[in-house]
Amino acid sequence: MSIFSRRDFLKSSAVGAIGLAGATVASRKYTKTSGIRQSISGEEHEHGQMGAVGEVDHQANGFYPLDLLTDWDYGQVSKLPNGQVMREYYIVATDKELEIVPGVFFPAWTYNGRVPGPALRCVEGDRIRVNFLNAGTHPHTIHFHGIHSAKMDGVPGVGDGTINPGEHTIYEFDAAPFGCHLYHCHAIPLKRHIHKGLYGAFIIDPDPDKYTGSRREVAKSRNHSYIENGMVNEMLMIMNGFDTNFDGENEIYAVNTVAFAYQNEPIPISSGQLQRVYLINVTEFDPINSFHLHANFFDYYDHGTTLEPTLRTVDTIMQCQAQRGILEFNFDGFEPGPYMFHAHQTEFAELGWMGFFELQG
């Protein structure tokens, strides 16, 4: 039995069709949807257009890439007798096939039928209760990045350990520290369980009452219950990859699962508004991933656990697996138009991790 290499895959897949589509067109103009400025004459170059032919059926997937940027899950909110805010979440693991690039279907394992799973959002000090039911066909867990007891850690052999199909458990802890975190399955083999799609964002907003001066103002801007936060354009981007032929290498890369999603539908942004990206890397099989912004620079808060940037004025940030952080930038005074962002591992970009911000006039 021959195993397809990544190059064979490219030749035979929808992504491979890009090159073919490019070669059949003698000249090509710049368009918003195609995204790339192309050298014009097909006589000298027959370079393909970046992107994929066709459209993903987002409705069948059950989620729309533009919606995934902002669909925070604040949980069912109540107050405990001691005044502490309680947020209760319900997460069900299920098997589900997802279309990750037109015509390419991936047999995913999901939290709540989507990849990434629900974007859990809370405030530092909140009580978090996650009701987890495994309705999938393999044992799973939820392991949260954050501070909690060993028995709430969601790893095999500790606490309730691995949750078998049909079983359920509850993970409960106080949210800390504030930052841009994640959760993922920790069943063995770990890389397969994560790579199949069992991961999501876990965002803990800072509590402004704990800080003073300028740090308090920053905390307000980061806390979803404050009006200052409503003035910021916040976006969640989870960098992921898909090994579609199970050879231990990714064939498709994306932010938020669907390859080229934000190239096909650029993200509308406005000048005069702070742009904030919660960026998380869950890519398996490649040691690092990265985010590169064109024509502009950003400040970066590694892990989101500080109120001052940990890096200033950079246009590229790399993250190892499970590393994450917050990017902030604005396009004040820029000409309207499409501004590109992508992994600066250019191979990843060409295999799907490519997008545009559309700066409105």
State which of positions 294-333 bind Cu ion (CB under 5 A): none
User: C-alpha angle with apex 278: 63 to 122, nearest 5 degrees?
Assistant: 85
Which CB sits closer to Cu ion, 121 or 193?
Answer: 193
Comparison of 56 and 182: residue with beta carbon closer to Cu ion: 182
Minimal distance, residue 3 CB to Cu ion, in Å = 24
Instruction: Among 193, 220, 276, 342, indicate the residue that binds Cu ion (CB under 5 A).
Output: 193
Select 198 or 343, whichever has its Cβ closest to Cu ion.
198
* Contact string (CB under 5 A) for Cu ion, positions 126-165, x = contact: --------------x-------------------------
Among 185, 203, 237, 277, binds Cu ion (CB under 5 A): 185
Name which of 181 and 193 has its Cβ closer to Cu ion: 193
Q: Which is nearer to Cu ion, 98 or 175 (CB)?
A: 98
Cα 356 to Cα 8, 11, 175, 283, 322, distances in angstroms: 29, 26, 33, 21, 24
Cβ at position 167, least distance to Cu ion in Å: 13
Piece of 68-76, 143-151, 181-189, 222-230 that binds Cu ion (CB under 5 A): 181-189
**In the bound complex, what is the minimum distance in angstroms from residue 151's beta carbon to Cu ion?**
18
Q: What is the 3-state secondary structure (H, E, C) of the chain?
A: CCCCCHHHHHHHCCCHHHHHHHHCCCCCCCCCCCCCCCCCCCCCCCCCCCCCCCCCCHHHHCCCHHHHCCCEECCEEEECCCCCEEEEEEEEEEEEEEEEECCEEEEEEEECCECCCCEEEEECCCEEEEEEEECCCCCECCEECCCCCHHHCCCCCCCCCCECCCCEEEEEEECCCCEEEEEECCCCCHHHHHHCCCEEEEEEECCHHHCCHHHHHHHHHHCCCCHHHHCCEEEEEEEEEECCCCCCCCCEEEECCCCCHHHHCCEEECCCCCEEEEEEECCCCCCEEEEEECCCCEEEEECCCCCCCCEEEECEEEEECCCEEEEEECCCCCCCEEEEEECCCHHHHHCCCEEEEEECC
Nearest approach in angstroms of CB 142 to Cu ion is 9
How many residues bind Cu ion (CB under 5 A)? The answer is: 5
Structure tokens at 193: 């369980």
CB of 136 to Cu ion, least distance (A): 8
For Cu ion, the binding residue among 17, 91, 130, 187 (CB under 5 A) is 187
Nearer to Cu ion (CB atom), residue 193 or residue 222: 193
Stretch that binds Cu ion, among 12-20, 96-104, 180-188, 233-241 (CB under 5 A): 180-188
Binding region for Cu ion (CB under 5 A) out of 166-174, 186-194, 199-207, 346-354: 186-194
Pick the piece of the chain touching Cu ion (CB under 5 A) from 53-61, 148-156, 196-204, 271-279. Answer: 196-204
Q: How far is the CB of 157 from Cu ion (least distance, A)?
A: 15
Give the range of 71-79, 174-182, 185-193, 220-228 binding Cu ion by CB under 5 A: 185-193
Q: Give the nearest distance from C-beta 49 to Cu ion in angstroms.
A: 37
* CA distances to 90, 105, 184, 192, 255 from 97, in Å: 21, 6, 19, 16, 18
Smallest gap from residue 15 Cβ to Cu ion (A): 27
- Contact set with Cu ion (CB under 5 A): 140, 185, 187, 193, 198
